[in-house]
């Protein structure tokens, strides 16, 4: 029998329970909870609290300081934190998420707060040496959370490929924390039931191993056999303790990202955000881009720069789309893709042993031609679309962008610099606009500022091709309909649904993704389509939603291919299932319950 000390964590404490020393707490509550005299005497409304929190945020000198402030606020007053995030999402998302979260991870061990109850537990840190004690670790966690707050969504990393920043070891914990904040903000997951996990399996990053303040275990990463055996123990423990938990694998190095997905995708409810989430979100943007490009889908020539989990994940999703939606035979669709990696165009006869995930797209029609870099590849392929998932900052130089513009005189060039954070982005929005005579169809992984075409009042908004548009609704849909697994067709339906969310105004302005301010609305639509698809293909397990979908079929219920449609009834119910922060002090501190 495992014993554990009972503490009250803030991340895991229900937002409906009184939080300590909240200035909005009514006198009756203060009296009943023996807090009289321990809080400043003014009893504030939320508007005043929000104004103070926003003022404090604005007064921070740097984005990292803002990140630290927001982390503190989340641990101190969950309800206020999410009110602030939701009312300033466009401004705050780049701080709690990409790009600032990247810097926060790099500094994680240095900025780690000295947590004490009630904000003591902010996730699970599982060292390699303790995987045999996983049940005890989980029991400790369970004992630390209020009853009823059993986790239903988890994001797990081992920190081995954080954004494009490489191996950050245990410091990668910032990513699961950041992703789960987006689950809550963008799709209304219950924050008290979200569990960030870092597998602290060592690091090959010499800088951290030598850093006296590094908080992870100080050893190199294990070999594959030990890695998979250890993750197996953790995932078995987790799924046994929390049956049906939705698992998002995040920022594992590419071989392990593919390896874990293959091992687990048919065994439990999981998905890999970098492979499937990125594939799904970029397909959505691509569907919109080819409608505007001026040449038909089957004539696209797509050049990928970077052939890791993200590049290959996106390309496979695009192949599926061309096959399913445009009736192009798979071999022909595959032949529309070329990949450049650090050694040039990937060909079957390049003379090196290709990693497994690169083999499918290796060209066999190149004869003796080998292109050693992007410049050569551009002349050889003459692409209509250039997709960057390479982690190489400024890989899309002025020369490359200018050439893309020249090659695509008859149609608009599609240029997606998708690497994160902005210090790894292949180019900026401004550069892509300037060097293509403002003709580019653009999406980037990290948000870039709008660009006003010089000498005009014409301001263009860049699309953010980031998986944040899809993992939150996938998680919400999964929580509600409880599918046995996440299938390719469910991911496909998500892409279609996301591409359908664009407003007439966004389409008219040539935008490829909905504005982030609308993300709650678009998440609900995407989650509704996900739910319909899960019911349609028989993976759904929740009888309530199965009945509801059957009583309210989507417009396309008879269509063979997932098309991302949904019924109004499901959309309405999804919206009402979303968690929102309490709207008034009365709701947060109901005196009747004292």
Q: How far is the CB of 111 from ligand NAD (least distance, A)?
A: 21
**74 known ligand binder:** no
Applying CB under 6 A, which of residues 424, 434, 439, 532 lies at the interface with ligand NAD? Answer: 424
66, 67, 82, 97: the catalytic one is: 97
- Listed in sequence order, the DSSP H helices in 301-359 are 309-326, 330-334, 356-359
Q: How far is the CB of 419 from ligand LMR (least distance, A)?
A: 7
Residues 255-314 that bind Mg ion (CB under 5 A): 274
Nearest position to ligand LMR, beta carbon: 98
How far is residue 3's CA from residue 136's CA, in Å, rounded to a whole number? 9
How far is residue 194's CA from residue 82's CA, in Å, rounded to a whole number? 14
Scored b (16 or more CB within 10 A) or e, 164-193 reads bbbbbbbbbbbbbbbbbbbbbbbbbbbbbb
Q: How far is the CB of 52 from ligand LMR (least distance, A)?
A: 30
- Out of ligand LMR, ligand NAD, Mg ion, none, which partner does residue 573 contact, by CB within 5 to 8 A per kind? none
Return the number of other C-beta atoms located less than 10 Å from residue 21's C-beta. 15
Check residue 420 for interaction with ligand LMR (CB under 6 A): yes
Strand partners, 153: 194, 246
Active site residue 575: no
Strand partners, 126: 199
Report CA Rg, the chain.
Answer: 24
Which residues have a Cβ under 8 Å from the Cβ of 572 and sit 6 or more positions away?
Answer: none
Check residue 431 for interaction with Mg ion (CB under 5 A): no
Q: What 3-state DSSP class applies to 155? A: strand
Nearest position to ligand NAD, beta carbon: 308
**161 known ligand binder:** yes
Report strand pairing: 194-200 vs 124-127: parallel
Applying CB under 6 A, which of residues 158, 167, 273, 506 lies at the interface with ligand LMR? Answer: 273
Check residue 426 for interaction with ligand LMR (CB under 6 A): no
Q: Which of 434, 442, 398 is CA-nearest to residue 417?
A: 442
**251 known ligand binder:** yes
| Per-residue binding letters, 126-165, with ligand NAD (x by CB under 6 A) | -----------------------------------x-xx-
Check residue 253 for interaction with ligand LMR (CB under 6 A): no
Check residue 251 for interaction with ligand LMR (CB under 6 A): yes
- Decide if 183 contacts 475 (C-beta within 8 A): yes
**274 known ligand binder:** yes
Total residues at interface with ligand NAD (CB under 6 A):
29
Q: How far is the CB of 182 from ligand LMR (least distance, A)?
A: 9
CA distances from 189 to 177, 211, 258, 446, 527 (A): 13, 36, 27, 23, 12
Active site residue 451: no
Between 445 and 562, whose beta carbon lies closer to ligand NAD?
Answer: 445
Q: Rounded to 5 degrees, what are φ and ψ at 156?
A: -120, 130
Q: How far is the CB of 585 from ligand NAD (least distance, A)?
A: 38
CA distances from 319 to 325, 406, 441, 443, 575 (A): 10, 26, 20, 19, 32
Applying CB under 6 A, which of residues 341, 431, 506, 563 lies at the interface with ligand NAD? Answer: 341
Check residue 466 for interaction with ligand LMR (CB under 6 A): yes
Check residue 305 for interaction with ligand NAD (CB under 6 A): yes
Between 311 and 483, whose beta carbon lies closer to ligand NAD?
Answer: 311
Which residues have a Cβ under 8 Å from the Cβ of 547 and sit 6 or more positions away?
Answer: none
- Decide if 134 contacts 237 (C-beta within 8 A): yes
Between 309 and 565, whose beta carbon lies closer to Mg ion?
Answer: 309
How far is residue 152's CA from residue 87's CA, in Å, rounded to a whole number? 26
- Out of ligand LMR, Mg ion, ligand NAD, none, which partner does residue 307 contact, by CB within 5 to 8 A per kind? ligand NAD
| Per-residue binding letters, 371-390, with ligand NAD (x by CB under 6 A) | ------------------xx
Check residue 467 for interaction with ligand LMR (CB under 6 A): yes
Applying CB under 6 A, which of residues 163, 194, 441, 582 lies at the interface with ligand LMR? Answer: 163
179, 358, 479, 496: the catalytic one is: 179
Residues 511-550 that bind ligand LMR (CB under 6 A): none
Check residue 420 for interaction with ligand NAD (CB under 6 A): yes
Q: How far is the CB of 281 from ligand LMR (least distance, A)?
A: 9
Q: How many CA atoms lie within 13 A of 488 on its CB side?
A: 11
How far is residue 250's CA from residue 271's CA, in Å, rounded to a whole number? 9
Check residue 178 for interaction with ligand NAD (CB under 6 A): no
Applying CB under 5 A, which of residues 158, 251, 320, 506 lies at the interface with Mg ion? Answer: 251
- Listed in sequence order, the DSSP H helices in 97-243 are 100-106, 108-111, 134-144, 174-187, 206-210, 224-241
- Decide if 247 contacts 143 (C-beta within 8 A): no
Strand partners, 198: 125, 157
Secondary structure (H, E, C), 212-251 = CCCCCCCCCCCCHHHHHHHHHHHHHHHHHHCCCCEEEECC
| Residue set of the binding site | 161, 250-251, 274, 420, 466
| Residue set of the binding site for (S)-malate | 161, 420, 466
Site for ligand LMR, rule CB under 6 A:
98, 163, 251, 273-274, 420, 445, 466-467
Site for ligand NAD, rule CB under 6 A:
161, 163-164, 254, 274, 278, 281, 305-311, 340-342, 389-392, 418-420, 424, 445, 465-467
| Residue set of the binding site for a divalent metal cation | 250-251, 274
Site for Mg ion, rule CB under 5 A:
251, 274
Which residues are known catalytic residues? 97, 179
């Amino acid at each position: 029998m495992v014993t554990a000390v009972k503490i009250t964590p803030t991340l895991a404490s229900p937002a409906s329970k009184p939080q300590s020393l909240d200035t909005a707490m009514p006198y009756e509550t203060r009296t009943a909870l023996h807090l009289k005299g321990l809080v400043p005497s003014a009893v504030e409304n939320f508007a005043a609290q929000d104004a103070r929190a926003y003022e404090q945020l604005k007064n921070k000198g740097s984005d990292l300081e803002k990140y630290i402030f927001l982390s503190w606020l989340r641990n101190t007053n969950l309800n206020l934190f999410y009110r602030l995030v939701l009312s300033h999402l466009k401004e705050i998302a780049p701080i709690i998420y990409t790009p600032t979260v990247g810097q926060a991870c790099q500094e994680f061990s240095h900025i780690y707060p000295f947590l004490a109850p009630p904000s003591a537990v902010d996730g699970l840190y599982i060292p390699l040496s303790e995987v045999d004690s996983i049940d005890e670790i989980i029991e400790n966690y369970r004992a630390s959370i209020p009853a009823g707050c059993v986790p239903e969504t988890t994001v797990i990393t081992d920190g081995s490929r954080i954004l494009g920043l490489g191996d950050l070891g245990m410091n990668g914990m910032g990513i699961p924390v950041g992703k789960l904040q987006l689950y809550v903000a963008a799709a209304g997951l219950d924050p008290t039931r979200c569990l960030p996990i870092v597998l602290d399996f060592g690091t090959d990053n010499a800088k951290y191993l030598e850093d006296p303040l590094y908080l992870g275990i100080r050893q190199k990463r294990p070999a594959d056999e030990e890695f998979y055996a250890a993750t197996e123990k953790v995932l078995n423990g987790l799924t046994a303790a929390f049956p049906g938990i939705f698992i998002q694998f995040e920022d594992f190095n590419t071989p392990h990202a593919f390896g874990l997905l293959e091992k687990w995708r048919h065994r439990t409810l999981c998905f890999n955000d970098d492979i499937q989430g990125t594939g799904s979100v970029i397909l959505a943007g691509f569907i919109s881009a080819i409608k505007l490009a001026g040449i038909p889908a089957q004539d696209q020539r797509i050049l990928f720069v970077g052939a890791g989990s993200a590049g290959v994940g996106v390309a496979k999703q695009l192949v599926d789309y061309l096959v399913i939606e445009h009736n192009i035979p798979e071999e022909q669709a595959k032949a529309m893709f070329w990949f450049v990696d650090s050694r040039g165009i990937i060909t079957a006869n390049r003379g090196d042993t290709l990693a497994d995930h690169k083999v499918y797209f290796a060209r066999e029609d190149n004869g003796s031609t080998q292109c050693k870099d992007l410049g050569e590849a551009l002349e050889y392929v003459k692409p209509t679309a250039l997709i960057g998932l390479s982690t190489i900052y400024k890989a899309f130089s002025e020369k490359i962008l200018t050439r893309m513009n020249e090659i695509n005189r008859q149609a608009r060039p599609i240029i997606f610099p998708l690497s994160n954070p902005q210090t790894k982005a292949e180019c900026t929005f401004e550069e892509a606009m300037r060097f293509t005579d403002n003709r580019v169809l653009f999406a980037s992984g990290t948000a870039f500022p709008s660009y006003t075409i010089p000498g005009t009042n014409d301001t263009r908004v860049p699309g953010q091709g980031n998986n944040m548009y899809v993992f939150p609704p996938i998680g919400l849909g999964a929580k509600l309909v409880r599918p046995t697994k996440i299938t390719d067709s469910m991911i496909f339906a998500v892409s279609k649904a996301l591409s359908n969310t664009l407003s007439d105004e966004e389409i008219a302005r040539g935008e490829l993704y909905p504005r982030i301010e609308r993300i709650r609305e678009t998440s609900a639509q995407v989650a509704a389509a996900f739910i319909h698809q899960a019911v349609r293909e028989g993976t759904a397990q929740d009888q309530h939603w199965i009945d509801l979908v059957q009583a309210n079929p989507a417009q396309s219920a008879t269509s063979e291919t997932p098309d991302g449609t949904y019924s109004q009834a499901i959309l309405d119910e999804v919206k009402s299932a979303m968690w929102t922060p309490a709207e008034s002090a009365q709701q947060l501190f109901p005196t009747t319950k004292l």
